[in-house]
Amino acid sequence: MAAFFLIIRTELVLFLRSRGVWIAGLFLLLFGVWTATTIRESPLVAWNTLGAAALLLSLLLSFLTGDQISHDYGRHIDGVLLSTPISTLTYVWGKFLAAVISLMGLAALYLVAQLLVNQFDTWRDPPFLLGHSHYPSFGLWPFLLIWLVAILIPVLFGAALTLLGTTLLHGQRILSSVPLLLLWLGPVALQHWPTWLDLTVASLSRHFSFDGNTAATRLVASWKTALPPTNTLAERVVQLAQSDFSRPFPAFFLESRLIYAGMALLLIIGTTCNVYRHRCHG
Partner 1 sequence: MVILHLNAVSKRYETRRWALREVSFRQGKGVLGLVGPNGAGKTTLLRILATLLVPTEGIITWNTQDISINARDARRELGFLPQDFGVYPQLTAREFLQYIGTLKGLRGVQLQQRVGEVLEMVHLTAERDRRLRTFSGGMIRRIGIAQAFLNEPRLLILDEPTVGLDPSERVFFRQMVSGLQGDRLVILSTHIMSDVEAMATDLVLLQEGRLFWSGTPASLVADAEGGVWSATLPRDDLEALQAAYRLSSIIQNGDDAQVRILAHTRPVAAATPAMPTLEEAYLSLLNEPG
Task: List Cβ neighbours of 7 (8 Å cut-off, separation of 6 or more).
Answer: 86, 90, 91, 94, 95, 98
CB of 249 to partner 1, least distance (A): 42
If one asks whether residue 83 binds partner 1 (CB under 8 A), the answer comes out as yes
- In the complex, what is the shortest distance from the CB of residue 20 to partner 1, in angstroms, rounded to a whole number? 12
Q: Is 6 in the site for partner 1 (CB under 8 A)?
A: yes
Reference 92, options 156, 158, 160; nearest CA is 160
Minimum Å gap between C-beta 115 and partner 1 is: 31
**Nearest distance from C-beta of residue 5 to partner 1, angstroms:** 9
**Which CB, 7 or 107, lies closer to partner 1?**
7
Position 172 contacts partner 1 (CB under 8 A): no
Q: Is 248 in the site for partner 1 (CB under 8 A)?
A: no
- In angstroms and rounded to an integer, the radius of gyration of the C-alpha atoms of the chain is 21
Residue span 27-66 as binding mask against partner 1, x where in contact by CB under 8 A, dash where not: ----------------------------------------
Residue 86 touching partner 1 (CB under 8 A) = yes
Nearer to partner 1 by Cβ, of 75 and 124: the residue is 75
Q: Shortest distance, CB of residue 10 to partner 1, whole angstroms?
A: 5
Tell which one of 20, 26, 81, 148 touches partner 1 (CB under 8 A): 81
Select 7 or 100, whichever has its Cβ closest to partner 1. 7
Among 39, 62, 77, 212, interactor with partner 1 by CB under 8 A? 77
Backbone phi, psi, residue 254, to 5°: -65, -40
Minimum separation from the CB atom of position 80 to partner 1 (A): 6
Contact flag: residue 233 with partner 1 (CB under 8 A):
no
Give the binding-site size for partner 1 (rule: CB under 8 A). 25
By CB under 8 A, is residue 22 in contact with partner 1? no
Neighbour tally for 202: CB within 10 Å: 25
Among 18, 209, 230, 243, binds partner 1 (CB under 8 A): 18
Tell me how far apart the alpha carbons of residues 155 and 260 are, in angstroms, rounded to a whole number. Answer: 10
Which spans of this chain sit near partner 1 (rule: CB under 8 A)? Answer: 2-3, 6-7, 10, 13-14, 17-18, 75-77, 79-87, 279-282
